């Protein structure tokens, strides 16, 4: 199989962009530089905030996302990834604008949870992802139940993402976020879906240990496979 270049529609946020690139490199079987995959990244920080757009009338992210997608396609990308869960609300606009496949992180996560035999998962995500039902749509027909945090727990997730990770706050108080996660597990969630690309970073930054599935890693592994590499799981 001829190898393809992976195009990353990045900037949502920049740390999440770094995270997926790191995961692609670390999870590609390679013994030399030349055995790694070509990765093209547009860290497009001009893309408006996705939750603001969906819930509060903010600027439309789709035009800038499409601009990045077309740029990466012209640069030689053979497939595209979007390392932002909330941005998948604009997936259709991006896929229809290019002639190369755009991998769908949420659907891939649903597929992998189904293969794992999970019947109930707890969704941790931004308000934009939770309220638009993006994960519920991706999980439709899988038989997997999705639990979401209560109102204080959801606010704790938003605070940890925006006031913690995005703000670069190494000392953010995560006690409320921990309570929200433990509540989901107590309610029957077998695992937590880290449905915001800042959340795997939060787990590492704040040293949190809970059963969880990282959609960024799911996306990275699938991108490696579809680009013609061998993924290390």
Q: Which of the following is catalytic: 84, 174, 192, 219? A: 84
The CA–CA distances, whole Å, from 214 to 64, 65, 229 equal: 26, 23, 20
> Which phi-psi region, left, alpha or beta, contains residue 171 (left: φ > 0; alpha: ψ -120 to 50)?
alpha
Closest C-alpha to 144, from 177, 178, 181, 112: 112
E-state strands within 59-175: 77-81, 120-124, 145-147
Confirm whether 120 is a catalytic residue: no
Sole residue written with tokens 């001829």: 2
The CA–CA distances, whole Å, from 102 to 20, 111, 113, 194 equal: 15, 16, 20, 20
Q: Which of the following is catalytic: 20, 165, 196, 220? A: 196
User: Which residues are the active-site residues?
Assistant: 84, 196
């Amino acid at each position: 199989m001829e190898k393809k270049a992976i195009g990353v529609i990045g900037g949502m946020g920049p740390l999440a962009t770094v995270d997926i690139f790191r995961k692609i490199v670390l999870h590609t079987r390679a013994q030399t530089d030349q055995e790694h995959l070509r990765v093209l990244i547009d860290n497009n920080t001009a893309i408006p905030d996705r939750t603001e757009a969906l819930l509060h009338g903010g600027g439309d992210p789709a035009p800038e996302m499409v601009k990045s997608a077309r740029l990466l396609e012209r640069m030689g990308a053979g497939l595209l990834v979007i390392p932002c869960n909330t941005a998948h609300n604009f997936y259709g606009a991006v896929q229809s604008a290019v002639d190369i496949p755009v991998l769908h992180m949420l659907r891939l996560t649903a597929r992998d949870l189904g293969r794992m035999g999970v019947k109930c998962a707890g969704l941790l995500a931004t308000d934009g992802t939770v309220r638009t039902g993006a994960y519920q749509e991706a999980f439709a027909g899988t038989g997997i139940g999705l639990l979401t945090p209560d109102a204080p727990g959801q606010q704790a997730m938003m605070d940890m993402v925006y006031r913690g990770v995005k703000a670069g706050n190494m000392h953010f108080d995560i006690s409320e976020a921990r309570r929200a996660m433990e509540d989901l597990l107590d309610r029957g969630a077998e695992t937590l879906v880290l449905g915001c690309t800042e959340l795997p970073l939060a787990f590492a930054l704040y040293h949190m240990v809970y059963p969880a599935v990282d959609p960024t890693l799911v996306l990275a592994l699938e991108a490696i496979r579809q680009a013609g590499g061998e993924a290390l799981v």
